[in-house]
Chain A
Amino acid sequence: MGIFGGLFGKKEKPRADFSNVRSGGSSTAPTPGMGGPEMGAPSMTTGRTYVVVSGDSLSKIAKREYGDAQKWPKIYEANRNIIENPDLVYPGQELRIPEAQGEEK
């Protein structure tokens, strides 16, 4: 192949595909006003979301997010579109975490 083989025979490494990346975030600080963030980026995540990791359950997430495992139905209700069985959540699932202040005490 010679020079041309060296120039054209090399295969280019394919670029990594990050199109299915899921992002989220939360803060101990309040958000300005009552609404979510106003400035937008294409993949911006607003409000509180949580990405399920290995070993998670709804009650564990409720304990972490609200300090009370018994509040898991609140998370389940907010994510009925993606959770079929409340006993089964899968790593990588992105759950919406409703604000705790909406809770009746």
Chain B
Amino acid sequence: MTMHQYTRVVVSLLSAVALFSCSPSKPVVQAGVKVTDIDVGRGLTADKAIAEKTDSFRPADTFYVSIKTDGSGPGATLTARWTYQDGQVVDESRQDIAPSGSAAVTEFHLSKPDGWPAGGYKVEVLLNGTSAGTKDFKVT
């Protein structure tokens, strides 16, 4: 093996190591803020936590998702993307937050005056456009 070939092999190996070290399984941390917990259910407590956690709703219910974040930063965008079982995007809402303490709770809610169609739903939470987790639930 010539010196040139040897250099090529070393560069290729280093590239492969760099590629595999960028694992997508790392927790989503954006601008010093990370999502630590996502809950879905009915109603909220005074501190915006879910009052009644559930993954089974009735057609007249309001869906709530409560997102706990940790850390602080000058600005982060939380998005709740709600989808139906057929892939339709039911709603997408965003909130810009600037958490200054160690923990914060952000909630999104969704209602439908004439009742929800039965079936499976999903809410995906994104932090600055990057998925931070999903929750599946159903309406029966």
Query: Nearest Cβ distance between residue A37 and chain B, in whole angstroms?
Result: 4
Q: Which residues of B, 87-116, contact A by the 8 Å Cβ criterion?
A: 88, 90-100, 104-114
Indicate if the CB atoms of B98 and A32 lie closer than 8 Å: yes
**Which residue of A16, A64, A94 has the most chain B CB atoms within 10 A of its CB atom?**
A16
Interface 9-mer from A21-29, A74-82, A96-104:
A21-29
How many positions in chain B have a CB within 8 Å of any CB in the partner chain? 42
In the complex, A36→B112 CA distance in Å?
A: 24
B77 smallest CB distance to A (angstroms): 6
The reply to whether A22 and B69 form a contact with Cβ atoms under 8 Å apart is no
Main secondary structure on B side of the interface with A: strand
The contact of B94 among A20, A29, A39, by CB within 8 Å, is A39
B80, CB-defined interface residue at 8 Å:
yes
How near does chain B come to A32, taking the closest CB pair, in angstroms?
4
Interface range on chain A (Cβ under 8 Å from partner): 35 or more
B34 close to chain A: CB less than 8 A? no
> Which residues of B come within 8 Å of A, CB atoms?
42-44, 46-48, 60, 62, 69, 74-75, 77-80, 84, 86, 88, 90-100, 104-114, 117, 119
Write 25 A-B pairs (CB below 8 A) sorted by A numbering.
A15-B86, A15-B88, A22-B112, A23-B111, A24-B108, A25-B107, A26-B95, A27-B48, A28-B48, A28-B106, A30-B100, A31-B96, A32-B74, A37-B95, A37-B96, A39-B77, A41-B93, A42-B92, A43-B91, A45-B95, A45-B108, A53-B42, A53-B62, A67-B46, A91-B62
Interface residues of A (CB under 8 A from B): 15-16, 18, 20-33, 36-45, 51, 53-54, 63-64, 67, 91-92, 94
